[in-house]
Amino acid sequence: MTHGSGEHGGLTKSLGLVRLSLYGVGTIIGAGIYSVIGPAAGAAGEGVWLSFLIAAVISAFSGLSYAEIASALPGAGAEHNFLRKTFPAFPALAFMIGLFIAVHGAATLATVALTFGNYAQAFMPITPVIIAFVLMGLATVINIAGISKASFVSAALTVLQVSCLIVFAMFAIPSGERGMPEFAVATDNFAGVLQGAAILFFIYSGYEHMASLSEEAKRPDRDLWRAFMIALGVTTLVYMVVILGILSLINAEFLAGSPSPLADAAGVMGGGFAMVIIAAALIATANAVLSASLSGSRILFGMARDGDLPKPLAWTLGSSRSPWVGALAYLTVACGLASVGEIEFVASLSSLGVILVFAAINAAVIVLRFTQPDLERPFRLPSIANVPPTALLGIATSLLLATQYDLSVYLTFGAIFLLGALPYTFIRRRGGQLPTSGKGDE
């Protein structure tokens, strides 16, 4: 076991462009396409396709900012690392955003595990919450085994799940009796469309998970921004063809009331399509749970190594150098959220967290242009007067979506944040680091 913090206990560099890109595609597509289409359709109606498009555009603004900042400042801890280096005089800001992304990640882990449980009921009569607990536990074991093994499993699952979605769209779009949606209808319910986009934003998160693996990239300066661009293009294309395929088969009202909307849409085509989609959903959710466990444990690792969380969270295990304590801590929080059992509520917590983080990352890109103008940027956004317009749009649109949730979501998010802030307050009062208690760096 390695008890690492500070400059000790670094993570193994084993990820190239292909694995980074596949990890990104698998994380972004993940389980959201199977879980939150129904709630989004309930808000947006037949204009849910526009909700997909709006969420994609807003997500793209932040994806571009991530490509610039992650390739310039690679390191475990991702957003926490970026903001510590952008605002060194305000360490509490970096902690706050790091905790936002940690809440988002734990909620993502719980949401996709519950989705797996819902789809798995087609094969086993066990409550979704119990299935979710088992799946999250298994993903944590694979995570602790090491990034090389985990990324190989994730890459294989990504290829399978994307292939299933593309096959579904190829058959659904030409065979659907409803044809393409009436695009003009979306403008009659723009408030609902916007609310739908806020719900769907959950399925476009994933850049933050990619960024958390930057310390384990072999060539972060060359590969990170390319992986971001590949993931952005592939996922946007897949999502759009899938939602058009669904709407060609079933209407939004039916979609809103379905616990497994994609499988029900596939069932309209007959044959074994529904079982294929259920299998794809299980693959996708399992992959997303693994990805969330990987990235979440590394967020906690980076924050602990920088002295913002208890030092044991930066301990790594053996030759795999996996942050095992962080992985177990993440599992504990995610199990607590999964016990709620309501996918829409937990997904909204996840979406709110990542929206706030995206706004902060866009702001950090702008600030760094002025505070560190000579910083080497392997990928650089086009700018006007040294300010990238896409980053400004990312801030404005993210904050707009952040106003679209129920009060219960804000209250729960705030409570989790305050609970997580207690260790930070204690650590800062003790001078920035916890005592080692006899378990210092080796």
pLDDT top residue among 274 and 362: 362
Quick one: DSSP state of residue 11? P
Q: Please report the pLDDT score of residue 375 as a whole number.
A: 87
Q: Residue 150: pLDDT band by 50, 70, 90 thresholds?
A: low
Task: Evaluate if residue 341 carries a pLDDT over 70.
Answer: no
Can you read off the two tokens belonging to residue 40? 């989004």
Task: Evaluate if residue 309 carries a pLDDT over 80.
Answer: no
Mean pLDDT of 28-35: 70
10 Å Cβ neighbour count for 253? 11
Structural element, H or E, at residue 3: strand 2-3
Q: How does the average pLDDT of the chain come out, rounded?
A: 80
Task: Evaluate if residue 216 carries a pLDDT over 50.
Answer: yes
Mean pLDDT of 412-423: 80
Q: Please report the pLDDT score of residue 395 as a whole number.
A: 94
What phi-psi label fits residue 431: left (phi over 0), alpha (psi between -120 and 50 degrees) or beta? left
Residue range 388-410, pLDDT digits in tens = 999 999 999 889 888 888 898 89
10 Å Cβ neighbour count for 179? 11
Mean pLDDT of 334-358: 81
pLDDT top residue among 247 and 431: 247
Mean pLDDT of 2-13: 50
Task: Evaluate if residue 137 carries a pLDDT over 90.
Answer: yes
Q: Please report the pLDDT score of residue 342 as a whole number.
A: 74
Task: Evaluate if residue 6 carries a pLDDT over 60.
Answer: no
Task: Evaluate if residue 419 carries a pLDDT over 60.
Answer: yes
Structural element, H or E, at residue 315: strand 315-316
Quick one: DSSP state of residue 8? S
Mean pLDDT of 194-221: 75
Mean pLDDT of 17-43: 79
Closest C-alpha among 118, 162, 109, 165 to residue 138: 109
Structural element, H or E, at residue 87: none
Task: Evaluate if residue 266 carries a pLDDT over 70.
Answer: yes
Cβ-contact 25, 231 below 8 angstroms: yes
Cβ-contact 349, 103 below 8 angstroms: yes
Q: Please report the pLDDT score of residue 185 as a whole number.
A: 54
Residue range 38-50, pLDDT digits in tens = 888 888 888 888 8
Q: Please report the pLDDT score of residue 257 as a whole number.
A: 81
197/310 Cα distance (integer angstroms): 36
- Ranking 4-13, 36-45, 135-144, 303-312 by mean pLDDT, the lowest is 4-13
Q: Please report the pLDDT score of residue 187 as a whole number.
A: 61
10 Å Cβ neighbour count for 270? 9
Cβ-contact 105, 299 below 8 angstroms: yes
Task: Evaluate if residue 122 carries a pLDDT over 80.
Answer: no
Q: Residue 10: pLDDT band by 50, 70, 90 thresholds?
A: low
322/324 Cα distance (integer angstroms): 6
- Range list of β-strands (E), 20-138: none
Q: Residue 75: pLDDT band by 50, 70, 90 thresholds?
A: low
Task: Evaluate if residue 242 carries a pLDDT over 70.
Answer: yes
- Report the percentage of the chain scoring pLDDT > 90: 8
3-state secondary structure of 146: coil
pLDDT top residue among 89 and 249: 249
Task: Evaluate if residue 2 carries a pLDDT over 60.
Answer: no
Q: Please report the pLDDT score of residue 437 as a whole number.
A: 33
pLDDT top residue among 75 and 60: 60
Which residue(s) pair with 3 in the sheet? 315
Cβ-contact 311, 436 below 8 angstroms: yes
257/217 Cα distance (integer angstroms): 42
Q: Please report the pLDDT score of residue 147 as a whole number.
A: 66
How big is the chain, counted in residues?
A: 442
